Chain A
């Protein structure tokens, strides 16, 4: 931890020392570095900074601030970064409710926003904007893949639950879009909820044959441990958010064998990914999570655009971003017309490698998948 902070301080110092050069791109990263969702923001930051460091590019300056998962703080930070720091690009936000508070105001002020995680449906459809790029996924995507997987696995009666916030609503909508079976029950939980005894009792009483859940971060740890202890023996399906590398160790055996869907995994076979996983382990001493891969891709997209165009020339810079001319750790990566990814989404399974819990790829769930809102975007 200490070493990491020293390195961060040193890299900031190096960045500050080169501030005088021309054509610098100033990036404001607002992400969650404290509180319950901190592991997600830290992974995004670490992935992003790794790509910046690898590039050796001195023309990028990154200012990192902690939003504490609070929309009002994220808005203040964005205002500060745009108005007094004069950043060119904002990025970093983990949570969709924070993205909804920050992104529209950012793009309206003529700044670019590159989302390394949150992809609320409102910003993919009618609210799309030429200066807003999502590098991760539209929120529904991984859930659509989960629905497609559940159908192909022959599950016919799912109980589904998610927290009550924009991404949670997108999650259930996404699952239902591709899932062919019946819904045994549908629940919205509180964001940040830690005790799922009541939900588990309802799952037990519902007569479902499977459970789909979207509970990112600490919520997923609690749910999985309590599910394993409840004696309910139904197959679980979910997006990768509850099975990411950073929380699996805290879940332990309770997650073993569960199928989950992701656009990325550490064993995805391409050169960029192999290099990323190796460099990340060497730099931070832990395996990367999917959030880290998204942060890494976001930085590489930005660096690819910087190599082609000057950020002061917004149209040229936008075209350069749109071209997505970088080696993504996901393999093929292109943007759809609403500037959200068109990509393959895979099914993974939680396994134990030695002492470490991790995921392995077991197949593809959806190929070249775009999102459901692209038609609503007039761009």
Chain B
């Protein structure tokens, strides 16, 4: 395997990881701060992508589309938090899973009712289209590089928000003792709505960004959701830093496994057998990674006490 292919795959892994992070960040905050398992997080990705596709079709502006995805998904998040999710904080996880699964069905069918079943069009803006040549002669799509940069900037921003601002202090306090912070006069239910909307907005942004290179269709968020749960288990529940490290680990493992394992088996097997064994193992690799992390650190890489 050539060096160029290796580096390109590494970038692909990083890009995949960054996308996962945008989804996992919201999920881990909601899980960590409110103790809520939100299966409907994938639907918020879809809401963001559909909002972006609609605005892009109406205005032709990609930046407006991105803004619409964040605002649309955050608004949808705030509304479901106030109408449904709020009633679930004190319930056990089974009730939460049932209710948020119902939300998936409502979002999917609602979207189908409004937009129909055919995929929508959302494309990369001309100024981000096409490949760029990186040092070393690697050709890489500019759009994917942009995703990596935007994702890392958002990670840095979130980190500052949680560690350095007043609202961040409240979020962290809410995570460790919700009665105490309520007693200190923080409006806890407003805080929860805010955190939920923040996570939803990030998921919406992820939806708009991947919508431009994939297809904008009903149910597009669900496959990402499963991996996002793996990420927060690896990273440690409630930790933004853990979500970032976990996302990149999962992204790189998944992408590199898909190419290195078949290449490895090709050393002593014929091509088609190596391909099938290698890719079968590659799909397992992230779960093996998760198992290893849990054996060594049962509460995840950066998790508090389990």
Task: Give the interface SS of chain A, mostly helix, strand, loop or mixed.
Answer: helix
**In this complex, what residue of B is CB-closest to A5?**
B113
Query: Interface code A191-214, partner B: CB below 8 Å = 1, 0 otherwise?
Result: 010110110011011000000000
In this complex, the interface size class of chain A, counting residues with CB under 8 Å from chain B, is: 35 or more
Q: Is the CB of A197 within 8 A of B12?
A: yes
Q: Within 8 Å CB of B119, what residues of A? A: 39, 218, 221, 247, 250
Q: Contact size class for B?
A: 35 or more
B220 proximity list for chain A (CB < 8 A): 36, 194, 218
- CB-CB under 8 A for A190 and B283, given A198-B12, A204-B8, A229-B124: yes
Q: Report B-chain residues with C-beta under 8 Å of the C-beta of A188.
A: 275-276, 279
Mask of B97-136 contacts with A, CB within 8 angstroms, 1/0: 0000000000011001100111111011000011100000
Taking a contact as CB atoms under 8 Å apart, the answer to whether A225 and B214 are in contact is: yes
Question: From residue B6, how far is it (CB to closest CB) to chain A in Å?
Answer: 9
- In the bound complex, do residue B9 and residue A201 qualify as a contact, i.e. CB atoms below 8 Å apart? yes
Contact partners of B141 in chain A: CB under 8 A: 226, 229-231
Q: With a CB–CB cut-off of 8 A, which chain A residues contact B272?
A: 186
Write out the residue numbers on chain A whose beta carbons fall within 8 Å of the beta carbon of B143: 229
Report A-chain residues with C-beta under 8 Å of the C-beta of B112: 34, 38
- Within the complex, what minimum Cβ distance (angstroms) separates B285 from chain A? 13
Asked whether, in the complex, the Cβ of B123 is within 8 Å of the Cβ of A225, the reply is yes
Shortest CB–CB separation between residue A250 and chain B, in angstroms?
4
Determine if A1 and B116 form an interchain contact, defined as CB atoms under 8 angstroms apart: yes
A225-B124 Cα distance, complex, nearest whole Å: 9
* B41 close to chain A: CB less than 8 A: no
| Complex alpha-carbon distance, A33 and B4, angstroms | 43
Closest to B216 in A: A250
Contact B118 A202 (CB under 8 A): no
Q: Does A187 count as interface, using CB distance less than 8 angstroms?
A: yes
B46 CB to closest chain A CB (Å) equals 11
- Residues from chain A with a CB closer than 8 A to the CB of B218 are 34-36, 38
Asked if A336 lies at the interface with its beta carbon under 8 angstroms from chain B, I say no
Chain B 8-23, CB-CB to A under 8 Å as 1, else 0, gives: 1100100110000000
Cα distance, A188 to B275, chains bound together (Å): 8
Q: How far is the CA of A194 from the CA of B75 in the complex (A)?
A: 27
- Can you identify 19 A-B contacts, CB atoms within 8 angstroms? A36-B218, A38-B117, A186-B275, A195-B214, A197-B255, A198-B258, A198-B259, A201-B8, A202-B259, A205-B2, A205-B4, A218-B217, A225-B213, A231-B131, A231-B141, A249-B121, A250-B215, A250-B216, A252-B123
Residues of A within 8 A of B (CB): 1, 33-36, 38-39, 42, 164, 186-188, 190, 192, 194-195, 197-198, 201-202, 204-205, 218, 221-222, 225-226, 228-231, 246-247, 249-254
Chain B residues engaging chain A, CB cutoff 8 angstroms: 1-2, 4-5, 8-9, 12, 15-16, 108-109, 112-113, 116-121, 123-124, 129-131, 139, 141, 143-144, 210, 212-220, 223, 255, 258-259, 271-272, 275-276, 279, 283
